[in-house]
Amino acid sequence: MELIATPDAAVVWKDNQLFLLDQRLLPETEVFIQLSSSRETAQAITDMVVRGAPAIGVTAAYGVVLAAREAFLMDARQWKQTIEPLLDDLALARPTAINLHWALARMKQLIVQLPDGDPENALIKEAQLIHSQDIESNVCLSDIAADLMQGCGSVITHCNAGALATGGYGTALGVIKSAFRDGKVDHVYADETRPWFQGSRLTAWELEKSGIPCTVMVDSVAATLMAQSKVSWVIVGSDRIAANGDVANKIGTYSLIVNAKFHGVKVMVAAPSSTIAMNTATGADIPIELRGSDEVMKCGGKQVGVRGVDVLNPVFDVTPAALIDVIVTEKGAIFHPSEEKIKALMLS
């Protein structure tokens, strides 16, 4: 099995097997991991072999295929019961990204309707549909976003919301790719994105492979660039958008957007509609994942900070809807998002 590491191959279903490009090791090492069970898939999501809300959703969908294979092998008649704890495991892999739950709900809906017999082919088809629809949504929302951008300039992005973070093409980086193609963006400032360095490791890797000029910086340089009028947009993805338009995204997004508002820089959130959680009322209802201290205090496998000191490591934050100029989905763009506008979009 030979797989080539490209940004568009973060999650690969091939020869009825699931492979993930190990994003913990990029950019220095390009290795695929084969996952042979749904529990291994859940663990890979928890351990951030794969990350990015839409990519987690796509991975979980394929994880359901593996779960069904195991359950059907154990008990061909009762597999719909046997599979349940395996699906629960997948649901618990990470708390913040709603796309995980969205993809599981869609797979479960199909499971309920399936007739007797081996469910694998039907579930593979559905997972592949989730995967291909995610790519289509990203291409579509990126074109919508590029159309509404004016002139040409530099933008800042935070974390990695590229092909690696999705089924393919990317959300925030998808917008940047389309806008670069259309002459609306000529340069990207990529926040390194502490603590996991998604920017310096993954976004820079993707942009380089896409031929888009890119400068990496520590997250706090963004404020200086804004004060110097060097950027026209902040463009980010999202892990969950609440029904009122509040946006959860990688830690650092909120600080960046507060600075954008202070400096009059426009803010775009790019996400497929599967990121909008209509049953999450506001940002206050979004569970924020806390991860271990080693992500902050160790670097490159080496202890950097003081051992044993208390560390606070929330890996997402919430930006109130009022600070966001536009949310762009494949269903359309919402300027100055509100509960009413989001409801209307989701019903469209």
The angle that helices 84-91 and 53-74 make with each other, rounded to 10 degrees, is: 160
Residue 15 annotated as catalytic = no
Q: Is-contact 67 93, C-beta < 8 A?
A: no
Give 165's DSSP letter. Answer: G
Q: How far is the CB of 220 from a copy of itself (least distance, A)?
A: 3
Q: Is-contact 199 190, C-beta < 8 A?
A: yes
Beta-bridge mates of residue 248: 240, 318
Catalytic residue among 191, 239, 246, 325: 239
Residue whose CB is less far from a copy of itself, 62 or 180: 180
Q: How far is the CB of 209 from a copy of itself (least distance, A)?
A: 10
In order of 70, 119, 209, the CA distances from 37 in angstroms are 7, 16, 32
Q: How far is the CB of 162 from a copy of itself (least distance, A)?
A: 13
Q: How far is the CB of 7 from a copy of itself (least distance, A)?
A: 12
Strands 326-329 and 332-335: antiparallel
DSSP calls for 178-219:
HHHHTTSEEEEEEE--TTTTIIIIIIHHHHHHHT--EEEE-T
Binding site for a copy of itself (CB under 8 A): 27-28, 189, 192, 194-195, 197, 200-201, 204-205, 208, 213-224, 227, 251-252, 254-256, 258-259, 261-262, 296-307, 309-314, 317-318
By annotation, the residues acting in catalysis are 239
